[in-house]
Structure 1
Amino acid sequence: MSSTRFRELDGLRGLAAAAVVVGHFTTTFSVHYPTAAASSFELHHGQFGVQLFFLISGFVILMTADRAKRASDFAISRFARLYPAYWIAVVISVVVGALANVPGTQLTPLQTLLNFTMIQRLLLVPDVNGAFWTLAVEMQFYIIVFLVLLLSKCRLTDVLLRWLVAAWLVIAVGSAVVAAVLAPGIDITAAPVLVRAMVNVTLAEYGPLFCLGMLLFMARRNQRFEWLTIPAFLAVVVSASLLHSPSYAAIVAGISVFFAFVALRTSTPPLRLSPLLWLGKISYSLYIVHVVVGYATIDLLWPLIGRDLAVLVAMLVVTVLAWGLYSLAETRITPALRRSLLRRADGRGRTAT
């Protein structure tokens, strides 16, 4: 099986993005706007699209790192890929949030400025956009991969990767166990600050998902089952159960099995449907702009046309906006920025030589 033309990844991204958007526009919107009319459709588990994104990220980032000739190439690739669209999304979130008084967007000037770093969550600064928290988690994962590339001089052997995954799983599960002991029976989102900080720093909940994604990439690339996939899956389930609940863990387990099923197959035709592939292509832009703009649109329109129609209009608005952001930032600014940064890195390399 080839790991290069794996079009199903875009289909999976499309599914994940759709789940998150629908969940936010139905269930989560009602939490932030309790006086709004009720939606006739709720997607209570739309949040679990995030877990699918993390599995995909583990798979894709290892695929990217596997091709890197220098650690700086990987860093430049990630920076150029994420930040142009993100910076525009921050501006959109600040402006729309202020104009429409969207809950959660009222930050101090310093907090707003720190949101441009993408790691504001790690600095204990609120996100101006409710979707941004996952990007800080992703950034932690990228930093780990960058350091491994740097220390190994880009020699990512399977043995090294297995040791990395094994160590990370032990740390993640150990941290989840400690959290369960310190805050027994409490969902991690309601645990004391120090407990949550420990879980966040060690990536106790999401690290096993990244690891499972990496192992499935290795299995697909090598056309051989990776035995560490089983303990990684168990770590995913155990951490989710300890930090949340057994029912929560069961959903995450189902998502993990589904992703593994797709990753280990040569082809999964339903995930190659054109609408899913297109949605997957713009999924990053859609994810980072949909919350504030979508909430503002629904809040403005539901008294006029009803909640359900307002949700549909909001979905159309954020999809068009995401397509525009993708066309501008991801297809134009990102390639130009990547080329510029790579030229500078090459120039420094020649000077050093």
Structure 2
Amino acid sequence: MIFIDGIDFGRFGVVLFFLLSGFVIPYSLKPGTTIKQFAIRRFFRLYPIFWIAVASASTANVVFLGKKYEASQLIANLTMAPQLLGQNPISNVYWTLLIELAFYVACAILFAWGTLGKTRVLITASAITAGLTFFPILINELTGSKVPVQFNSHHLSFLFAGAAIRTEYESKSWRLSIPYLLILTMTVPTVAGLLPAAKTPFSTFGTWGLFVAYAAAAFVFLLALRHQFGSNRFFEVLGNSSYSLYLLHWPVFIVVFSFFENSASTIPFEVGACLAAAFFVSWLAYKYIELPSIELGKKFSRSTQRDRQSLQNPVRP
């Protein structure tokens, strides 16, 4: 990840991505949508470009970094959840995808229960998942215990927070969700390592630098909502290609960096070239891979809807 003056800009991007995903994803489950349709559309939205990203990242790592992989690791990575199969992600930036999948499952469950659009339910879910990280840290610090700490659940809490904000977005009330997001952000220093018991890989480069990254992500997210940046053409393109940018920036960076000598004098040019190439490649990927995949997912989901309607209303002779 990239760090400037101790701020984890990589984590800034991750948290902003979580908040945006939490804000957008639940509204794929509109009234009349089935869980099967949701699953089909999510599959075609996520996996085709992800498989290409895995192939790109593994190839770049082998060719330019000299890494080697077992077939079992490559196959496990195609599931988007290699951790569940005892394997490491091909790229260190892909660790968040398992958390995204967990959020999709949670959204499907809440939708089935009829509670996905309720602000208090989503805030409660966020508080519970954050508490699974926060309270074990406090207990371990105060009592010297060794209660297991699940840090991924704290990341999951920001997805639920984004979803809660969306429920109040239309009415512009935000009486509960935004104050809650601010409170949630204030728990980061404790989780990140303010207490000795919390010192884990969650925060490798400093407690307060990580806190600034989380706070900045929350600020940018709320600022974007306030000024409706999504209606701006530039931000619309950036938002559309954000998933491809997230998946493909690592292999693109590896390839671009290989053309430079990595001297101090060329760093600004290297960074600029990496960013320009990553944005261009992600735009191409969205246009020629993601969009066709999304349309294919819609086509399959519509066919399942027609099949269901034909079963409910069979043609009588």
TM-score range, shorter chain: 0.7 to 0.9
- Is residue 2:45 matched to residue 1:87? no
The correspondence for 1:77, drawn from 28, 34, 41, is 41
| Aligned residue runs from structure 1 range 243-322, under 5 A | 243-245=192-194, 247=208, 248-263=210-225, 265=226, 267-268=227-228, 273-302=232-261, 306-322=266-282
SS in 2 for 1:291: helix
1:225 and 1:279 mapped to 2: Cα distance? 26
**Aligned match of 1:19:** none
Partner amino acid, structure 2, of 1:172: A
Q: Distance in 2 between matches of 1:345 and 1:243?
A: 46
Query: Aligned ranges for residues 17-166 of structure 1 at < 5 Å?
Result: 24=1, 26-27=2-3, 44-47=7-10, 48-67=12-31, 69-101=33-65, 106-152=68-114, 156-158=116-118, 161-166=119-124
Equivalent residue, structure 2, for 1:230: 179
- Kept in 1: contact 2:127–2:157 (CA 8 A): yes
| Amino acid in structure 2 at the alignment position of 1:91 | A
Partner of 2:285: 325
Gaps of 5+ in 1: 1-23, 28-40, 185-191
Which residue of the other structure, out of 133, 156, 162, is the alignment partner of 1:207? 156
Output the amino acid matched with 1:295: I
Partner in structure 1 of residue 198 of structure 2: none
Contact 1:89 1:289 in 2 (8 A): yes
Instruction: Name which structure has the greater RCO, CA cutoff 8 Å, separation 6+.
Output: 1
Question: How far is 1:157 from its partner?
Answer: 4.9
Residue type at the aligned position of 2:151:
V
User: Which of 135, 140, 144 matches 1:177?
Assistant: 135
Partner of residue 335 from structure 1, selected from 279, 282, 295: 295
What is the CA distance between 1:74 and its match in structure 2? 1.9
Q: Percent identity?
A: 21
| Conserved 8 A contact 1:55-1:212 | yes
Name the amino acid aligned to 1:57: S
The AA in structure 2 aligned to 1:207 is: L
Q: What letter corresponds to residue 44 of structure 2 in structure 1?
A: A
Change in 2 beyond 3 A, CA 1:317/1:149 = same
**Does structure 1 conserve the Cα–Cα contact (< 8 Å) formed by 2:117 and 2:167?**
no
Runs of 4 or more, structure 1, over 6 Å off, are none
Counterpart of 1:224 in 2: which secondary structure?
coil
**Structure-2 residue corresponding to 1:15:** none
Question: CA 1:167/1:100 → structure 2, altered by over 3 Å: closer, same or farther?
Answer: closer
2:169 corresponds to which residue?
Answer: 220
Name the SS for the 1:320 alignment partner. helix
Which secondary structure state, in structure 1, belongs to the residue aligned with residue 180 of structure 2?
helix
Distance of 1:253 and 1:71 partners within structure 2:
34
What amino acid sits opposite 2:247 in the alignment? Answer: I
**What CA distance in whole angstroms lies between the structure 1 residues aligned with 2:138 and 2:86?**
22
Structure 2 letter corresponding to 1:324: L
**Which range moved further: 246-255 or 90-99?**
246-255
| Alpha-carbon distance in 2 for matches of 1:66, 1:218 | 13
Amino acid in the other structure paired with 1:60: V
State whether residues 212 and 232 of structure 1, in contact with CA within 8 Å, keep that contact through their aligned partners in structure 2.
yes
Runs (5+) with no aligned partner, structure 2: 195-206
Alignment partner, residue 189 of structure 1? none
Measure how far apart 1:86 and its partner are: 0.7
